Structure 1
Amino acid sequence: MNENPGLLLTVFAFFLVLGPLVFVHEMGHYLVGRWFGVKAESFSIGFGREIAGWTDKRGTRWKLGMLPLGGYVQFAGDMDPSSRADPNWAALPAEERNRTFQSKTLWQRALIVFAGPAINFLFAILILAGFAFAYGKSVTPPVVAGVLPGSSAAEAGLLPGDRIVSVDGERIEWFDELGRRIAHRPDERITLRAERAGKVREFDFKIGVEIQKDRFGNEYRIGRLGIMSAKPVMRPVSLVEAPVVAVERTGDVVRLMVATLGQVITGRRSVSELGGPLKIAQVSGEQLSAGLDDFIFFIALISINLGFINLLPIPMLDGGHLLFYAIEGIRRKPVNPKVMEWAFRSGLAAVLALMVFVTVNDLASFGLLG
């Protein structure tokens, strides 16, 4: 029987995930902007018509928008929330002009933009460091304790006692690393190297496929080798080491995202698996009902996702701005305003099209499109 967390819990959990993460992201832009003396005219959680807000003593309007699917900081000198320059900013009095975003040096503007994704990564690292300190780190050796009959590992010839050395050239140090290299690649061929009796052997075979269903009824296609480890070994992690472990785990998540994106682009993974806000809302509710630890870990994953996506070189996203700043640095002059406007319009169209596409995917996955 499927356990449905219910609509109210799902909506509550969604806002509990998205609201703080958007706030953290935009606060990164805001704080670094203030550090460089840029005035923030508005700080918004959500887009569209304002439903609540106040103005602080610095003249910044803090507000909530009608559409709670993101946010923005609009700095002085910006024509709109996408940070396109107001053509009249240069005519402002010197004191006001010096407080605009456009008056700052290239590296200062780049840091202000980069601060948003960066703080999402730092937020996730803080959470993962807490988990590492609380629960320790798995240091189970990558030694095969058992092989399931009929599994891909059995057909390839792996035996108990084999020590996994690498997968597709990537070194394997601990047993749990093997799962992270395999789970997202069902039915793909790999080259695995294992040490047996002092000699390294090479195995070339297809990863097996396991269909898993969670207690909420969701099905997942998981890559499996069909091998078992010895008894798991957990090592305590000190407060000093915890951030290091957290950075490593964040790197693993980013590598998984890059690999998954590559699979979608090359057609090895169906675009129907892409999820949007509705899917995030569904999983938010499920993770909250599963327990506080699961929910907090999910927040860390979404924070990494938010940071990663915003660094993609797409106009309208932070990565698009950084791309133009890189071009400006190479050319020693800003990109032509007309080119910028065309790029941002195209980027907006692409982002909106993607939002529509993933929303349709979400509706289809919920069985609401027939």
Structure 2
Amino acid sequence: MSLQVIFQIVLLFFVLVTIHEWGHYYFAKRAGILVREFAIGFGPKLFSFKRGETRYTLRLLPVGGFVRMAGEDPEIVHIQPGQTIALRLSDDQVTHIYLDQLDQRSDVVIGTVEKIDLEHELKVRLEAGGEAETFSIHPQAMMVTKGKETQIAPWNRQFGSKTVGQRALSIFAGPFMNFILAFVLFVTVMFLAGVPTNVKIEKVEPNSPASQAGIQAGDIIKTVNGTEIQTSTSKLTDLIGGSQDKKMDWTVIRGGKETPIQVTPAKNAEGRIMVGIGLTSDKRGTGVGEALSGGWENMKLATTQILLGFKMLVMGQFSMDDLGGPVRMVEVTSEHASAGLPQYTFWAAVLSLYLGIFNLLPIPALDGSRLVFLGFEAVRGRPVDPNRESLVHFIGFAALMLLMIAVTYNDIIRLVRGES
């Protein structure tokens, strides 16, 4: 595998995951939700930096990503009455709340908490030196413990404070961005590949029915049994497949002249009915209208095939070898990357579409499941118990990870055995 192919594989997965998570991030920010982390990958951090309120991280396992919004996880350490803390103030507002190493802090107020509200009132009442004083807390104040700073999240910055519509949009935006990217890539493929103007013979297998009939590379197929072929290779293969051991009347254009040829398809060693030719086509540039309509048609066709695959999965019409994990994905992506830019772009479009559709399935831990819970909330008029919802998503995530391990193991065994 060349360095270029490796780069194309890494670039593809990075773009697909980033555009998905950016959809979540952008609409969460527009709704006023505090986004704590924008992560590509799972597991230990490889690289991270903070810009504004959000930390951007690259993690070890390249199996997805996540946007961590305030209020989704109980990641903030709670401060209890009676606890000793230190406050740093600026312009009469608390900007930092220190929970440890208090004797090492300078220019701070140290005292015992009598009352604190970090979500609604944004105030803390502290008893220090026998006197109690109330301090206002800045809405972007930092809690500091064990050398780690965590920005507080007032209620109006938390995920749960937003309307059902705002939350649903921030969740749906991830898959939606994958759909947008898929369409753009399908349209790009139309520009890269061009529009076929005919069906032409690229090669003729030696000692094949086509060779015996006198068909030559470079021949343009005009009609078969009186049927205009135009640019439809599928029409040609259907006619061949239904004509085993039957003479077919072909008209080809050779050197600008129409030439009649009779060819008799035969079954090969694999049981396929063939004449022994490879096909290509002459192409012209693609117009904008053609690219848009062709890209849309390809997207609809790919969507149908993906949904059919999910249907077979649900009905149990599959074997373990039909599933693929990261290893199989890298293997297939390498093949498409090596086949040229149009094929690589087409595969990227299919993967982006697949990622969008898969994430909308009502499987716990996926975006589709979260949308289902929001639907329940909209109907009931109140949210589902957050602890129960978190448990469902945790179980779903664990199940997906176990499945990922299983299919990855199967991929490795298949590679060791030399199976394709």
- What TM-score, normalized to structure 1? 0.68
The structure showing larger relative contact order (alpha-carbon pairs under 8 Å, at least 6 residues apart) is 1
Which residue of structure 2 aligns with residue 306 of structure 1? 355
Instruction: Return the structure number with greater strand share.
Output: 2
Does structure 1 retain, via aligned residues, the 8 Å contact 2:35–2:69? yes
- Report the alpha carbon displacement of residue 139 of structure 1 after superposing the two structures with TM: 8.6
Q: Is the 8 A contact 1:78 1:86 kept in 2?
A: no
Unaligned runs of 5+ in 1: 142-147, 150-158, 165-173, 182-208, 213-222
The correspondence of residues 157-236 of structure 1 with structure 2, limited to 5 A, is 160-161=225-226, 175=232
Indicate the structure with greater helix content.
1
The match for 1:70 among 47, 64, 71 is 64
Check the 8 A contact 2:189/2:345 in 1, yes or no.
Answer: no
User: Which deviates more, 105-114 or 359-368?
Assistant: 359-368
Distance between the aligned counterparts of 1:108 and 1:140, measured in 2?
Answer: 50
Q: What letter matches 1:42 in structure 2?
A: E
| Preserved CA contact (<8 Å) 1:9 1:285 | no
Q: Secondary structure at 2:157's aligned position in 1?
A: coil
Contact 1:42 1:73 in 2 (8 A): yes
- Once the two structures are TM-superposed, the CA of residue 236 in structure 1 deviates from its matched residue by 5.8
The Cα shift of 1:80 comes to: 6.8
1:127 is matched with: 185
Mapped contact 2:326–2:408 kept (Cα < 8 A): yes
**1:192: which partner in 2?**
none
| 1:319 is aligned to 2:376 | no
Provide the C-alpha distance between the structure 2 equivalents of 1:109 and 1:361, rounded to a whole number of angstroms: 38
- What code does the residue aligned with 1:305 have? Y
Flag the 1:311–1:326 CA change in 2: closer, same or farther, 3 A.
Answer: same
Q: Secondary structure at the match of 1:357?
A: helix
TM-score (norm 2): 0.61
The count of corresponding residues between Structure 1 and Structure 2 is 300
Name the residue aligned to 2:172: 114
Structure 1's 139 and 369: CA in aligned 2 closer, same or farther, altered over 3 A? closer
Distance 1:369 1:341, change over 3 A: farther
Structure 2 residue corresponding to 1:40, chosen from 35, 43, 51: 35
**Over the residues paired in the alignment, what is the CA RMSD in angstroms?**
4.1
Other-structure match for 1:294: 343
After superposition, give the CA deviation of every residue in 1:284-308 in whole Å (9 maximum; x if it has no partner): 2222222222222222121111111
Task: Give, as a single letter, the amino acid of the residue that structure 1 aligns with 2:17.
Answer: V
Distance 1:116 1:224, change over 3 A: farther
Matches within 5 A, 1:53-68: 53-56=48-51, 58-68=52-62
1:92 has 2:113 as partner: no
Equivalent of residue 21 in structure 2, options 14, 22, 26: 26
Matched with 1:170 is: none
> SS of the residue aligned with 1:98?
helix
**Is 1:279 aligned to 2:328, yes or no?**
yes
CA contact (8 A) 1:51 1:66 kept: yes
Q: Secondary structure at the match of 1:314?
A: coil
The offset of 1:342, in angstroms, is 3.2
The DSSP-based 3-state class of the residue aligned with 2:33 is coil
Do 2:9 and 2:337's aligned partners in 1 also have CA atoms closer than 8 Å? no
